[in-house]
Amino acid sequence: MRQNIVAGNWKMNKTVQEGVELAKDINSRVEAIDPKCQIILGTPFVHITEVVKTVKSDKIAVAAQNCADKVSGAYTGEVSAAMVKSTGAKYVILGHSERRAYYGENNAILKEKTDLALANDLLPIFCVGEVLSERESNKHFDVVKSQIEEALFHLSAEAFGKIVLAYEPVWAIGTGKTASPAQAQEIHAFIRGLVAGKYGKEVANNVSILYGGSCNAKNAKELFSNPDVDGGLIGGASLKAEDFLSIITAF
């Protein structure tokens, strides 16, 4: 179901205690307003159980930042989708560019992860986006197209309906550079068109497509006002309650 979403990606930041404090702070600020969006906290694995216990607002859900591409067994250090589900997390971020770049996650691996997430009733927030050289050589549409086609287009329309997409140009992540509202709208509309071509207009109109890449209090309103931008996946600005709230209230 298409909805406005502001999702935080805490990455590898904060101890469990610090994370609980942040979640508490966000929760009390959210309870004091009437947010016009679903809020998601993407925490490290070890924080999830405590953060789930901490958040009371029904507007806030919790996400893992990854899950394994295997069901279970001798995979030291990995965390399965079933384990994530058992923490109380509702969402899982998959295909973040840092996972693709530093941990070798390709479209085939992400296809497996997506299937396991869905089989365990987790809702994937599936990230796509091009690096700077691809944008500069005008390959960004092709890159995003193959990321989506190769990892997601084997899904049934019903299963695809559970996916949230996040367009995150890699050159904008953590750099302070943001895609312009027009650049974001252009590629979000392209992505929605791609989904329409595969699954039809109804499915395409129902998918939430988030923008990520140095989204902050100053630029969120303009980015979110585009017809095909349904919210944001927020890194740096999700680590302080005040900053995160100012993005939430951009809706």
Q: How many residues lie near ligand PEP (CB under 6 A)?
A: 13
By beta carbon distance, the residue nearest ligand PEP is: 235
Q: Which of 47, 140, 168, 188 is catalytic?
A: 168
The answer to whether 94 contacts ligand PEP (rule: CB under 6 A) is: no
Please report, for the chain, how many H helices and E strands are present, in that order.
Answer: 12, 8
Q: Which of 47, 96, 140, 188 is catalytic?
A: 96
Which one of the spans 62-70, 136-144, 182-190, 228-236 is the region binding ligand PEP (CB under 6 A)?
228-236
Backbone φ and ψ for 64, nearest 5 degrees, come out as -85, 165
Touching ligand PEP, residues 183-212 (CB under 6 A): 212
Tokens 């509702």 sit on residue: 90
Q: Is 243 exposed, middle or buried (0-12, 13-18, 19+ CB in 10 A)?
A: middle
The answer to whether 43 contacts ligand PEP (rule: CB under 6 A) is: no
The answer to whether 215 contacts ligand PEP (rule: CB under 6 A) is: yes
Question: Of the two residues 44 and 236, which places its CB atom closer to ligand PEP in the complex?
Answer: 236
Least Å distance, CB 154 to ligand PEP, is 25
Helix (H) or strand (E) holding 224: helix 220-224
Instruction: Note if 168 is an active site residue.
Output: yes
- Count of all residues that appear for the chain in the document: 251
The answer to whether 168 contacts ligand PEP (rule: CB under 6 A) is: yes
The answer to whether 236 contacts ligand PEP (rule: CB under 6 A) is: yes
Question: Of the two residues 19 and 235, which places its CB atom closer to ligand PEP in the complex?
Answer: 235
Alpha-carbon gap, residue 128 to 146, rounded angstroms: 10
Question: Of the two residues 124 and 199, which places its CB atom closer to ligand PEP in the complex?
Answer: 124
Written as one string, the DSSP assignment of 11-53 is -S---HHHHHHHHHHHHHHHHTS--SSEEEEE--GGGHHHHHH
The answer to whether 44 contacts ligand PEP (rule: CB under 6 A) is: no
Give the list of residues 6+ apart from residue 94 with CB closer than 8 angstroms, or none.
66, 67, 110, 113, 114, 117, 124, 125, 126, 127
Question: Of the two residues 214 and 249, which places its CB atom closer to ligand PEP in the complex?
Answer: 214
Instruction: Note if 202 is an active site residue.
Output: no
The answer to whether 19 contacts ligand PEP (rule: CB under 6 A) is: no
Q: Tokens for 26?
A: 């966000």
24, 50 in Cβ contact below 8 A?
Answer: no
Question: Of the two residues 201 and 240, which places its CB atom closer to ligand PEP in the complex?
Answer: 240
Residues found near ligand PEP in the complex (CB under 6 A) = 9, 168, 173-174, 212-215, 233-237
Catalytic positions are: 96, 168
